[in-house]
Structure 1
Amino acid sequence: MTDFLWLTVGSAVVLAVLQVVTFAVSRRVGRWSVVDVIWGPGFALVAIVGLCFGSGGIGRRSLLAVLVTIWGCRLGWHIFQRSRGGADDARYVKLAEGRSVAAVAVRVFLTQGVLQWFISLPLQVVAVTSDPHGLGIILTVVGAAIVVGGLIIEAVADRQLAAYKRMDPRPQVMDQGLWGWSRHPNYFGDACVWTGIYLVAVTAWPGALTVLSSALMVWLLVAGSGARLLERHMSQRPGYSEYRERTSLFVPLPPKKRAAEQS
């Protein structure tokens, strides 16, 4: 228990420093949305802290450190490339209206830091618990496979969307590739990553207690700041209502139109 307390405090300190530095950068460049770039890398830092200073089995913490670092750095680089040179995110602009810099910093940077710490609890628990035996090894392999699968889905979906945005002219909606099966396949891939991480963590007590951490991440992706919020933004786009009728919101499923044509 003492090892976990030291690690979780250390993780909180690392995340706090990251958020302070990011806040300073955001004020220098004049864009609140810089905070989105370090969302994934923040989890990578926690995984690396667990690898370097954790007292648990080397197998699982090394496995998650590698997978989460790949996931987090890819996501951070993707968001950086996507937002580079553009205007600040409209969500943050609206949030900042009528509020002081300190108030926005609390609502954006402090909130994200707390979320990163809480959602990363499975990583922290893995860092201080023993590697599993027997069925636990199988569950670890299954969890790692789900993480890898989710990472691939998210990366492919982001790549397909980026290619769509470069088209000139381009269709009204992106409904090709993974986007023809899910309206938010990148978020689905992200949810798979954190479901897999939980399966790895649950193989040693008290990993099972971190279920709320992964559940919160999935909730954010589906109903919080993810799919549902983007749906409200996209609902007025021409052709989107038809796309919504034939395409699953989150979990990839065969398009209804295609299913009708095959019947």
Structure 2
Amino acid sequence: MSLLAAGGGDGFHAPGLEEFYPPSFLFVGTPFEINRMMLLRIAATIVLILIFWLGLRKARIVPTRFQSLIEMALDFVRRDIAYGMLGKKDGDRFFPLLAALFFGILFLNITKVIPFLNISSNANIGMPLVMALVVYVVMIGAGIKAQGGGAYIKSQLFPAGVPKPMYLLVTPIEFVSTFIARPVSLTLRLMFNMLVGHLLLVLCFAATQFFFVDMGGLMGGFGILTLLGGLFFMLFEAMVSILQAYVFALLTAAYIQLSVSQDH
């Protein structure tokens, strides 16, 4: 749905949640049905793979500009997220996951500021939930592999240095924090940031069309303000798209580090 479509031509219509659940138009009635949100996910994934393939398929010792940009982006994830949170050894182990999450989320997010796409498929809970569950499985698996099953559960639910009577209070809190709050927070943080940002953009541009087309005259002046506001929020949401990809990958690294750490 275009950002301008919500304005219509018969009065102002506030943006709603219906466009986050668009009707399917391919393979309807089958497990493989495709709607606009799914199409955006497929398109963003293809573009991401294509960019990395074109940039790295003939990697040179003296890189081209395009190759340099891709290597700089990968190095950012490796050094600032993977090594920064996990150290070199574990950072190298989990770098592929962290890079896939960072760039995957970024490309799925950034579609909301691209004209004629104008929405992030991460504004629907499906994709953020899948990625959070992947992180959840990796987090627990890494902890069990590093410490053993019993030692991992003990380190997460019974922190060292806490007086034994306090475990009655601390252990339930640690259980909720580790095994429930982490995946839920990863999912909801990403989804709501994308959802609210989209609604804000739709509101600005729908109001712009309303003032320019439906009101006109002196009231059209307010359309200039809402248009400028919409353009500002587009830049802001582009920054948010990058930031949310970074935060998701960073928290993933932090959760893995807490799982593999022996002195949690």
Task: Give the TM-score of the pair, scaled to structure 1.
Answer: 0.31
Indicate the structure whose relative CO is greater, using CA pairs within 8 Å and at least 6 residues apart. 2
Task: Give the TM-score of the pair, scaled to structure 2.
Answer: 0.31
